[in-house]
Structure 1
Amino acid sequence: MSAQKTQEQLLAEIKELKTQLEKANDTIEAIKTGRGLSVNQEHFMLLANHIPQIAWTNLLSGKFNFFNERWYEYTGLSFDATIEESWDNIIHPDDLAATREEFNRCIKIGEMFEIENRYKRNDGVYRWHLNRSVPLRDENNELLFWVGTATDIDDQRRSIEKKDEFIGIASHELKTPLTSLKAYLQLISNYKKEVVPGQVKTFIVKAESSIVKLQNLVNDLLDVSKIHAGKLDFSQSQMSVKELITTCAEHAGYMFPDYNIIFNPGAEVRIKGNTERLEQVLMNLINNAVKYSPLHKDIILSCTKEGNQVRISVTDYGIGLSTSQLDKIFERFYRVDVKNTMAGGLGMGLYISMEIIKNHKGTIGVQSRINKGSTFYILLPLLS
């Protein structure tokens, strides 16, 4: 009797196990094919089909298994046609390689995928979209699948391009009269036929200082215009990092006599770069360090070798940056709000610096704490 009961229990357990396996297989099949949806999946589809963005899901392998109605309306393709065409005839040829590379990289390491590219509409017109895809994980942090969206940003990009075009034209138009104005002031300052009153010379010096500031702003605007036109090109050659930092430290010493510009040269290292542009970056970092350190006068420059890279750092002991400021500090036109008062400038220095360093195949970053100071650093590849 006991043996009979044990056998019945065993059969019941086997039956229950079979049922659970069938449910698991159904769930797996639903995920693979997008059919046999659960209530939660139906809710997801309902939401996905009523948002203005294109939306999709893909499996861990990267294989797409769902597109919302916006996708089919935009492309004019069916699900099978979408899969068959892949990205080859949907994404603009100029954006295809970068999109594939970034997508495969994110799938491999499980990080959020984000890129701007152009999708072909059903009438053959390409429009810019901002793509974001996030990996969804279970309570054990196991990756389940990916959910992505593509937001049409074509109108915004065109608006920005018009603004950039205006900035470029205005900057060029401003540059010529500024150069002439500076030349005339120099002529007045060096006038020998009659004695120029001391008060007039003082006014001339102040006017020249203001012109220099204005020229720097115009140059920044021109650089931003070049960046967005893809024309921020410059020659590069072998150069000494020690000489670069020493030169900038000397300039800073003259410019900011009230500050202690500290630099202890280390081992000599060489890189491939553009001296003028890297000086521009380093002087911008020093200027910022001074600007945001009104009480603490020590500015430390350092240079260390890290593997096959050199790290150039500018450290101050000023007001520091909050977490939210750290997230935005390299954005174009972003300026740090100091006690509800915006610092001078257009907020383009760090943005331009980042682009210059990118062109040197390097990276730029910052470490900071509120009221403890900041360290901005540049990592550049060493010559092999």
Structure 2
Amino acid sequence: MELPVSDANDPVWQDIADKMPVLAWIADQDGRLLWGNRCWREAIGTVSIGDLWTGSLPSEAREAAMTAWAAGTTAGSSFPLTIECDRTEDRMTGFAVTPAAPDPEGRPRWFVMASDNARQRRAESAQVAAQAELDTLTNAMPQMVWATRPDGYHDFYNAQWYRFTGMPEGSTDGEEWNGMFHPDDQERAWDRWRHSLRTGEAYEIEYRLRHCSGTYRWVLGRALPVRDGDGRIVRWIGTCTDIDSAKRAAEQNDILSRELSHRIKNIFAIISGLIRMSARQMPAMRGFADDLAKRIAALGAAHDLARPHSDVSRPTVGDATLHHVLRELLSPYADRQWRVTGDDVPLDDRGATPIALIFHELATNAAKYGALSTTDGQVTIETRHDGEQVAIDWRETGGPAIEHVPDTAGFGTRLAALSIEQQLAGTITRDWRRDGLLVRIEVRRDALVREPLARR
């Protein structure tokens, strides 16, 4: 089938052809150039109209090109023309030759246009180079790296994965990766992965992965979605990080922590016993000894609640929070006489001890002189957090009327300075109202825990 090409001098046709982003030209049966578009003129500017279009090719390529031209045009139908040379950056390697309408004198003409072979080869070459760069990068990483299709089908693992698992390459593609997990972790990992695929949320989970030695090691699995310009997920890229040594160390530390905590609690008990035994020999000191024993018991309770916990130990004592510690400290008093309200915040061993000391002191004084010394008295503790700041209000009502502000700095004042101002870098103010004491404590939220808190 001939291509109906108008006269090459037609300006409309030339304008259309010049806008084509590929080389195109017209030649006669003998290979003489009749016309070339703008791309042709810019790339092959040394060949003039009437010359052989192969004139700018190297001699070894020119002869092969003319031989192929003669064979193809003699056959009289469209044919591909391949030229192996580096004439331009575009590597003139692939062309499609199509019969065109004869010229006004009836002589055959042929329309030639660059095919996509060269561009495709460049694209393939760039893709191969990019893949090689990615393979080098992922294989240099200490983590196991994997990737999936949008539906979660695993189709890539780096060398670290195969080195860690000892599995043959390709054997864990698709859904076979789940068989590498410890049987007790498989369903949990699947559920979490399906959730990420369904919602597009980041994937993160700890599980045990079978090592090439046959043992299972703890790893941290993470994955993030890769999205296109329209927000659609096109890939998932994930990593597996071997955390087994850290996990084992954490377990060992937990055992040591529990043993140390047990010994500390025994020390608290021994000290309390020594105090009470000494008080029996000095009856005049009994009141002081009882107060001191209670303070030591409060320290023991706070320590047990707020010491560092693991997943094993935490459920046995509950979460250590400000409200939890306050309720524990007030538990010896009648439930109807106190309440804790407001915003709860996390607490660990850094904040629990000073908080336990100051509020035990407040409760002790309230039981001696304030709201807890009468059956109708009330103590309300209200907590609020505004951004990074935590405010705690201790309010007493219904107790004996306060006739005047104490004019001496007693033990409670010194304890507050030590606990709140020095240890927690906070502030404490007292308002000695006639109807009851009001204490305001303000501390930074991150002062109550060892690790900075994520914003909520």
TM-score, length of structure 1 as denominator length: 0.53
- CA deviation vs aligned residue, 1:38-68 (integer Å, no higher than 9, x gap): 4333322110011111001111111112110
Deviation (angstroms), 1:123: 2.0
- CA deviation vs aligned residue, 1:62-118 (integer Å, no higher than 9, x gap): 111211001111112233311267134311111111111111111221121111111
Q: Secondary structure at the match of 1:224?
A: coil
Q: Secondary structure at the match of 1:40?
A: helix
Q: Secondary structure at the match of 2:316?
A: coil
Q: Secondary structure at the match of 1:82?
A: coil
The correspondence for 2:208, drawn from 87, 112, 118, is 118
Alpha-carbon distance in 2 for matches of 1:65, 1:141: 22
Which residue of 2 is the match for residue 205 of structure 1? 291
The 1:319/1:79 distance shift into structure 2, 3 A limit, reads closer
Q: How does 1:79-90 map to 2 (within 5 A)?
A: 79-83=169-173, 86-90=176-180
Alpha-carbon distance in 1 for matches of 2:290, 2:219: 51
Alpha-carbon distance in 1 for matches of 2:328, 2:255: 36
- Aligned-residue sequence identity (percent) comes to 20
Alpha-carbon distance in 2 for matches of 1:233, 1:220: 9
- CA deviation vs aligned residue, 1:294-332 (integer Å, no higher than 9, x gap): 9xxxxxxxxxxxxxxxxxx952469628xxxxxxxxxxx
Alpha-carbon distance in 1 for matches of 2:386, 2:177: 50
Alpha-carbon distance in 1 for matches of 2:328, 2:341: 7
* Aligned amino acid, residue 173 of structure 1: R
- 8 Å contact kept, 2:305–2:317: no
Which residue of 2 is the match for residue 224 of structure 1? 309
- 8 Å contact kept, 1:248–1:283: no
Q: Secondary structure at the match of 1:108?
A: helix
- 8 Å contact kept, 1:174–1:218: no
Task: Flag structure 2 segments of 5+ consecutive residues without an equivalent.
Answer: 1-9, 25-112, 359-381, 391-418, 426-443, 447-452
- 8 Å contact kept, 2:265–2:300: no
* Aligned amino acid, residue 243 of structure 2: I
1:43 aligns with 2:130: no
Deviation (angstroms), 1:163: 0.7
Q: Secondary structure at the match of 1:81?
A: coil
Which residue of 2 is the match for residue 343 of structure 1? 424
- 8 Å contact kept, 2:275–2:289: no
- 8 Å contact kept, 1:114–1:132: yes
CA RMSD of aligned residues (A): 5.1
- 8 Å contact kept, 1:249–1:261: no
Alpha-carbon distance in 2 for matches of 1:195, 1:341: 34
1:62 aligns with 2:149: no
Deviation (angstroms), 1:341: 6.5
Q: Secondary structure at the match of 1:228?
A: coil
Whichever of the two has the greater Rg, that structure is 2
Which residue of 2 is the match for residue 101 of structure 1? 191
Alpha-carbon distance in 2 for matches of 1:171, 1:249: 18
The correspondence for 1:133, drawn from 223, 230, 244, is 223
Which residue of 1 is the match for residue 256 of structure 2? 166
The 1:341/1:45 distance shift into structure 2, 3 A limit, reads farther
- CA deviation vs aligned residue, 1:168-214 (integer Å, no higher than 9, x gap): 2232334345335434534555x4xx76235x743552353134213
Deviation (angstroms), 1:166: 1.1
Structure with the bigger RCO (C-alpha within 8 Å, sep 6+) is 1
Alpha-carbon distance in 1 for matches of 2:327, 2:316: 22
Alpha-carbon distance in 2 for matches of 1:92, 1:110: 25
The 1:282/1:52 distance shift into structure 2, 3 A limit, reads closer
Alpha-carbon distance in 2 for matches of 1:102, 1:95: 11
Which residue of 1 is the match for residue 275 of structure 2? 185
- CA deviation vs aligned residue, 1:224-257 (integer Å, no higher than 9, x gap): 25x33686389xxxxxxxxx99x959949x89xx
1:157 aligns with 2:241: no
Which residue of 2 is the match for residue 320 of structure 1? 389
Q: Secondary structure at the match of 1:77?
A: coil
Q: How does 1:281-360 map to 2 (within 5 A)?
A: 314-316=383-385, 320=389, 343=424
1:148 aligns with 2:238: yes
Alpha-carbon distance in 1 for matches of 2:184, 2:132: 36
Alpha-carbon distance in 2 for matches of 1:39, 1:71: 22
Task: Flag structure 1 segments of 5+ consecutive residues without an equivalent.
Answer: 235-243, 265-280, 295-312, 322-337, 345-367, 371-375, 377-384
Q: Secondary structure at the match of 2:241?
A: strand
Alpha-carbon distance in 2 for matches of 1:136, 1:341: 49
Q: Secondary structure at the match of 2:283?
A: coil
* Aligned amino acid, residue 424 of structure 2: A
Q: Which has the higher helix share?
A: 1
The 1:9/1:107 distance shift into structure 2, 3 A limit, reads farther
Pairs aligned (count): 265
- 8 Å contact kept, 2:327–2:340: no
- CA deviation vs aligned residue, 1:264-291 (integer Å, no higher than 9, x gap): 9xxxxxxxxxxxxxxxx88969x98x96
